[in-house]
Structure 1
Amino acid sequence: MKRLDALDAARFFAFCGMVLVNFRIAAQVAPGNGWATTFVDALEGRAAALFVILAGVGVGLSSVPALVLLRRAAFLFVLGLINMNVFDADILHFYALYFVVGAAFLTSTTRGLWAGALVIVGLAIPANLVLDYDRGWDWATLTYTDLWTMPGFLRNTLFNGWHPVLPWAAFLLIGMAIGRSELNTICIQHRLIMWGFGAAVLAAFPQILVSGPELATYLGTESIPPGPFYILAGSGTSCMAIGLLLKLWPRIEKTGLAPALTAPGRMSLTLYMAHILIGMGILEAAGLLNGSLSALQVVTYALGFCAVSSVFAVIWARKFKRGPLEALMRRVTEPRRA
């Protein structure tokens, strides 16, 4: 696998976006009109989409066997279930199921990957027409009432959770298709930027053209509920971010900032768990997860945590090749070499 440092940096930026969104959720910040609220709102559903697409890009660039990918899925699923006892909006157990879907498409052509993504999005549309998307949710507290029952867990995971397989698994297949491109060429980078921008703009129109509030919501670009144009918008912004970072990376390297971006990007699994167990843990210990923080305070704390994460990752990378959880996952899921 040819490693592209810009992709590690993109993963760190996706992580930072998820920290901002998750801290806002955990801190129960009241809606507002300030720039801090608008900034976090713009990242909701986009940072996580970039995170999943980058996972697909990594699979597309590599030659990982299906069995190893399924073992990674099992590892992440167990880790995600543990994490859900602390933070309901965990993405890892969803991530694991995206990998199961990805394993089924490892030998597909690039066209097959795009077709698979369209089928997944297509299956989500009738599911939303037939099933009750609100079932299980208490939207006032953002809690899922029957999450730990089998019907509730399956419904949440496949249909109406924070990042349900239908249609979020499409992001992984899109990433796998992108990963098979010549990402180190200017031509592909320009295509990612232009096509990504076009997709993001196009996705904004259907919501404007309909009058019914429920239909407008589903045809919008918000991540809840995740309609087809949310997938288009999330894919578009992700492609733009990846293309811009790939194109600008030579200049970024000259600034000397590259290690501060790539090191945390290479241990995003460890840092993801840390932002919940340590970052949110500090807020909880201080009694601040009760709606008392302003949006600006949450943004300040989240960005501070990201900066500390970057420093930690750079120091860790001087002695170790992988992050703690990354090394553990590799040890558990990949066959040992003789």
Structure 2
Amino acid sequence: MSADDRRLHGLDLARYLALAGMVLVNFRLALAVPAEGTSWLAGVFRLLEGKASATFVTLAGLGLVLATQRSGWMQASMQTWRRAAFLLALGLLNLTLFPADILHYYAVYFALAVLWLRASPRVLLASIVALAVVSFWALLHWNYSEGWNWQTLEYAGLWNWPGAVRNLLFNGFHPLLPWMCFFLLGMLLARLLLSQPRVQLALLLLGVLLLGAGQGVQCLAQGTPWQAWLGTQPMPPGPAYVLTGAGAACSVIAACLWLTRVHPGDWLEPFTAAGRMTLTLYVGHILLGMGTLEWLGLLDGSASLPAVLLWALLFLMLATGAAWLWSWRFARGPLEAVMRRIAG
């Protein structure tokens, strides 16, 4: 297996782990179980919240650059815009079922990413910092709670233009400010020689440092008027969250690249097969996973965190097996194949 093949397997494994984290978080949201308390399980759920999806978005930016790096700018731009349109349509349909949908945000990330397709690493890094600064300014000067009912997590005016724009840009589940930072981070990482051991080690160390910096900012803000804006939780997404989200993404990607390089083998196939069809499995965990939970009458808030873990692991086990079997005959997942046919 070549170094490039191992790199791709590492990225597929990272996508799978990011999806698994999102399934855990989203099942907890669907089952209306708070991640409170001092138990280790509550700590795991709080750790995953916002970090798995940040890793997912970072990998999307990385994958976009890898998929278009051999194409001219115009060809790459048109393909990216077509995929953005596909994701927007799919995401809006999904939004009618699941208010925390990420796909319609993805569409905006992809559409805007065209501006940075041929940007240098320095420009990408400067853009990440600038977006993070603007995001923090917006948190301090705009009303983050506008539109939200925090008890029910319902958003008033979501399907009207002012509310939709506000949700998409500023105070939705995965708003452009600051989530575009993670997408640009992925585009920046795609410029690195990710198959090189020294690069993997440096990326892992960077991830750990960013995680530590984010936790440090949160600790320093405890008991100050800035506490609400400098936590590591994704809502509101302040600077500490951006640091820890980026750190989690770098750490997971580096660890998966290292693991597939040091321990290649057939044991990876079920996970990398699922990692190649995360779009299908993301939609599947909402339609089939949450649909089953609703059919069983479990979406009433009566479940516990161990029950959330059990249902999420059961779905992941079935989804991983199904993806592995599908990969024996098809190179892409069902939705991935449809997007490829429609958008290129």
Q: TM-score range by the shorter chain?
A: over 0.9
Specify the alignment match of 1:284 in structure 2.
Answer: 294
Q: How far has the Cα of 1:320 moved from its partner?
A: 0.7
TM-score (norm 1): 0.95
Specify the alignment match of 1:81 in structure 2.
Answer: 92
Question: Is 1:77–1:92's contact at 8 Å kept on the other side of the alignment?
Answer: yes
1:298 to 295, 304, 308: 308
Specify the alignment match of 2:51 in structure 1.
Answer: 46
More displaced, 117-126 or 289-298?
117-126
- CA 1:211 to 1:302, structure 2 compared with 1: closer, same or farther past 3 Å? closer
State the secondary structure of the residue aligned to 1:56. helix
Give me the whole-angstrom Cα distance separating, in 2, the residues matched to 1:60 and 1:239: 16
Give me the whole-angstrom Cα distance separating, in 2, the residues matched to 1:144 and 1:214: 26
Give me the whole-angstrom Cα distance separating, in 1, the residues matched to 2:303 and 2:254: 35
Give me the whole-angstrom Cα distance separating, in 2, the residues matched to 1:312 and 1:143: 33
1:241 to 226, 248, 252: 252
Q: How far has the Cα of 1:211 moved from its partner?
A: 5.1
Give me the whole-angstrom Cα distance separating, in 1, the residues matched to 2:221 and 2:43: 24
Q: How far has the Cα of 1:213 moved from its partner?
A: 5.3
Question: Is 1:207–1:217's contact at 8 Å kept on the other side of the alignment?
Answer: no
What amino acid is the match of 2:339?
M
What amino acid is the match of 1:45?
G
1:1-338 alignment to 2 at 5 Å? 2-3=4-5, 4-33=8-37, 34-62=39-67, 63=69, 65-210=76-221, 215-254=226-265, 256-334=266-344
Question: Is 1:50–1:238's contact at 8 Å kept on the other side of the alignment?
Answer: yes
Question: Is 1:37–1:296's contact at 8 Å kept on the other side of the alignment?
Answer: no
Give me the whole-angstrom Cα distance separating, in 2, the residues matched to 1:2 and 1:194: 22
Give me the whole-angstrom Cα distance separating, in 1, the residues matched to 2:127 and 2:25: 29
Give me the whole-angstrom Cα distance separating, in 1, the residues matched to 2:174 and 2:138: 15
Give me the whole-angstrom Cα distance separating, in 2, the residues matched to 1:20 and 1:175: 23
Question: Is 1:55–1:175's contact at 8 Å kept on the other side of the alignment?
Answer: yes
Count of residue pairs brought into register by the alignment: 333
Give me the whole-angstrom Cα distance separating, in 1, the residues matched to 2:212 and 2:35: 25
State the secondary structure of the residue aligned to 1:23. helix
Question: Is 1:2–1:61's contact at 8 Å kept on the other side of the alignment?
Answer: no
**Once the two structures are superposed, what CA deviation does each residue of 1:9-47 show, in whole Å capped at 9, x if it has no partner?**
100000000000000001001343233222111100000
Give me the whole-angstrom Cα distance separating, in 1, the residues matched to 2:94 and 2:172: 15
**Structure 2 portions without partners, runs of 5+:** none
Question: Is 1:221–1:230's contact at 8 Å kept on the other side of the alignment?
Answer: yes
**Once the two structures are superposed, what CA deviation does each residue of 1:29-71 show, in whole Å capped at 9, x if it has no partner?**
1343233222111100000000000111112323250110111
- CA 1:268 to 1:211, structure 2 compared with 1: closer, same or farther past 3 Å? closer
More displaced, 203-212 or 122-131?
203-212
Give me the whole-angstrom Cα distance separating, in 2, the residues matched to 1:207 and 1:47: 19
Q: How far has the Cα of 1:253 moved from its partner?
A: 2.3
State the secondary structure of the residue aligned to 2:294. helix
- CA 1:66 to 1:205, structure 2 compared with 1: closer, same or farther past 3 Å? same
Question: Is 2:4–2:195's contact at 8 Å kept on the other side of the alignment?
Answer: no
Q: How far has the Cα of 1:257 moved from its partner?
A: 1.7
State the secondary structure of the residue aligned to 1:60. helix
**Once the two structures are superposed, what CA deviation does each residue of 1:290-322 show, in whole Å capped at 9, x if it has no partner?**
111111001111011011111000100011111
Question: Is 2:58–2:185's contact at 8 Å kept on the other side of the alignment?
Answer: yes
Give me the whole-angstrom Cα distance separating, in 1, the residues matched to 2:222 and 2:316: 41
TM-score (norm 2): 0.94
Give me the whole-angstrom Cα distance separating, in 1, the residues matched to 2:190 and 2:42: 33
Q: How far has the Cα of 1:210 moved from its partner?
A: 3.0
Q: How far has the Cα of 1:233 moved from its partner?
A: 0.9
Q: How far has the Cα of 1:251 moved from its partner?
A: 4.0
More displaced, 56-65 or 137-146?
56-65
- CA 1:243 to 1:31, structure 2 compared with 1: closer, same or farther past 3 Å? closer
Question: Is 1:73–1:96's contact at 8 Å kept on the other side of the alignment?
Answer: yes
Question: Is 1:159–1:165's contact at 8 Å kept on the other side of the alignment?
Answer: yes
More displaced, 212-221 or 70-79?
212-221
